[in-house]
Structure 1
């Protein structure tokens, strides 16, 4: 019965997404998000699109898992990444005042082809991880919902990938904006019902939740909060989904959309984290990324609502990631003609690559955020010196900062080998991540600020 309800309701969301996608596609709408009449999105279309593309399935699961292990500190650590709407809005405002039409546009003017090439490498990896991670959650959900079906995980991944690609490739960014509104409204209703059921359940204690240290203690959650605070300035700048939405409406609308997106997404992430904290407080065993845990904790309809929240958020992120992938491949890299066909080929390529990585068997969720956030740290000193302080940074310093950040990302990904001969091998992986981020920032800032003053 649960499985049937999940499949039927999610199927209806897919159908609704196909129905609201634009019937006619234009090149400007596909890459720039304009309607068929050429109008930019309104404030609340932009807000709901921003929120639903950032409250993706991986984030919801990460928040709940970190809440289970590290209590409220784990949830706050992940929620801190949503401060990216504030720092991202600040960065977009500065870029627009500088006359830039994108992050690449500004980097091209400062660092030429080297600036955009290095940045686009990180952006491409970010988009690929978005497709991969959201399809991964889809697979986890259907593996839990269809335990007796041998290929249920693989079939669900391929089906959602195919249907998501279908309406995304039809309308590009304009389709993503329109379907985001429907998907976000569905998410808010479904998740809102589940959250009310949680906080009104007998025995639920807000005080216990807000002081919980999880099953593994608060310290690691506090370490992660420090990591998030180090990464939160550069994190939005390497996210093309957020940055693309910073240049498709007027400045006043854009500025307001970032502010509203911040508080809505922050509350949603913290609220979802409560489900992980409550599982720890009830002494439930961790099982299957918490999906199996919740199945035994909550009434069937609450469990269904949680899974539907995850599925809808996964779908809403996939279309936006594909739209940004098309713009990256066509507008920034020039690897395909600026036509509907060129954009659609780019989308197919990213979806196939992401699905292949998912089917390959990698199950890591937070590590993708950690690696991506570490790689983005090269932008922190560059943006502070060049965009905020108006200084000139030489290309070689920009390149050194990039190499340091990428080395840090690789070091975290391969930490079991890199740290094996050192005392750091005994540290928790998130303590290792904090140390890596600190070193990356020290190297990048020392190089960039010292050279920027000389270049003055």
Structure 2
């Protein structure tokens, strides 16, 4: 089996390259429109949404959280995928209630240049972290950090994915997403069948960890339920796919992508739960799974991670090009400039792989916390339609959220102990409650102050 995974990666890469037509027009490269001017259909949208959000980091995180915190750790991570439901509502309101063509256009209208600069900063970090996290998973599969196998795997995977992403941009990404998701489903079904046939899936294994509200799993579930109101809006990969099809197709794609993603995450995460229930003292998750499953199922487990990493990475690069060239307007939105941006983001992601933090969930928690400044934007400015929120409320909510994200990073990495000796997820919950409550209060006060000023001016 030692050569099976590299061969699988090579085959997937070759097919992905063959499925990636060279872009001839900016509309295909940045907006996903086919050469004959057609938007993607419902099946393409669903499969693309699912495969770009079930990325390698997510699968590994779901399994790791299940390994350490039982089924409730996996349920907590699966709860993040309710973001498809809130994200669908956000997109529907942005496009069809308010008539905007991007999140940036909406924020520029409501909060001027401050609105877009804060937002672009957060989603820029999100995109770089996605490049980093998915490449990192590939390195982990092939060796320990710093080893020659690790370095070769990281560089080769990055080069191949960058190549076919540069060929066709978002249109190519949508085409390869369908292929990669079909392969992923086949692999996952085979893996589930093997695990069930071995008798490893039992109620005792799955419920080995009881539900205790003060334990990390249930606490992380509360964190997810707080973050899903803003999390989708700061994910440009999801948001970009909300603006390329008609209203009915878009609505259905978000709904179906939501339940499919939750199901896939729960299934994959349950492998970690089973490993945790059968682990011996000091035994790592991969070692337990190797012992329980054997070579072929472990190959399928790793292949699923590779497929998901590839499918997410090409979409992340496409969204990076659109962010800089179309949404931020830093450069002219040409295909050549889009390809240059892809190279830049890939290099930044590689720099993080070799020199950055290796904690996969930290990237989710930090970006999710930073995104929470958008929750009052969604509640007040988008869904409630309040137009008189002052810029200072928006800027203060942004500063509060970024401060909370930095504080969590410092606390979780051991650089500070300001919040005491409690578990890092308890600290994260406290921070999220403060950021969300503070942001809502800032918007409420700002709106009330502006209304009072308007009344006094009228009088």
TM-score by length of structure 1 reads 0.95
Aligned counterpart, 1:436: 431
Q: 2:335 aligns with which of 327, 333, 340?
A: 340
1:221 partnered with 2:220: no
Q: 2:253 aligns with which of 254, 257, 276?
A: 257
1:202 partnered with 2:188: no
Aligned counterpart, 1:357: 352
Contact 1:33 / 1:173 at 8 angstroms: preserved in 2?
A: yes
* Distance 1:413-1:22 versus aligned 2 partners, 3 A rule: same
Q: Deviations over 1:246-267 (max 9, x none)?
A: 0000010000000010011100
Larger mean Cα displacement after TM superposition, 312-321 or 274-283: 274-283
Aligned counterpart, 2:2: 3
**Pairs within 5 Å for 1:366-445:** 366-392=361-387, 393-415=389-411, 419-420=416-417, 422=418, 424-445=419-440
Aligned counterpart, 1:171: 168
Q: Secondary structure at the match of 1:3?
A: coil
Aligned counterpart, 1:158: 155
Q: Work out the number of aligned pairs and report it.
A: 448
TM-score by length of structure 2 reads 0.94
Aligned counterpart, 1:69: 68
**C-alpha displacement of 1:284:** 4.2
Whole-Å separation in 1 of the counterparts to 2:354 and 2:212: 31
**C-alpha displacement of 1:94:** 0.5
Q: Secondary structure at the match of 2:338?
A: helix
Aligned counterpart, 1:51: 50
**C-alpha displacement of 1:291:** 2.8
Whole-Å separation in 2 of the counterparts to 1:352 and 1:293: 34
1:231 partnered with 2:230: no
Whole-Å separation in 2 of the counterparts to 1:406 and 1:129: 15
Whole-Å separation in 2 of the counterparts to 1:381 and 1:71: 33
Contact 1:419 / 1:425 at 8 angstroms: preserved in 2?
A: no
Contact 1:131 / 1:321 at 8 angstroms: preserved in 2?
A: yes
Aligned counterpart, 2:287: 292
**C-alpha displacement of 1:292:** 3.3
**Pairs within 5 Å for 1:26-37:** 26-37=25-36
**C-alpha displacement of 1:451:** 1.5
Whole-Å separation in 2 of the counterparts to 1:340 and 1:356: 25
* Distance 1:284-1:29 versus aligned 2 partners, 3 A rule: farther
Q: Secondary structure at the match of 2:329?
A: coil
**Which contiguous aligned blocks of 4+ residues in structure 1 show a shift greater than 3 angstroms?**
214-218, 284-288, 416-419
1:21 partnered with 2:17: no
Whole-Å separation in 1 of the counterparts to 2:362 and 2:50: 22
* Distance 1:366-1:406 versus aligned 2 partners, 3 A rule: same
Contact 2:126 / 2:367 at 8 angstroms: preserved in 1?
A: yes
* Distance 1:199-1:338 versus aligned 2 partners, 3 A rule: same
Q: Secondary structure at the match of 2:358?
A: coil
Q: Secondary structure at the match of 2:310?
A: helix
Contact 1:76 / 1:270 at 8 angstroms: preserved in 2?
A: yes
Whole-Å separation in 2 of the counterparts to 1:383 and 1:29: 30
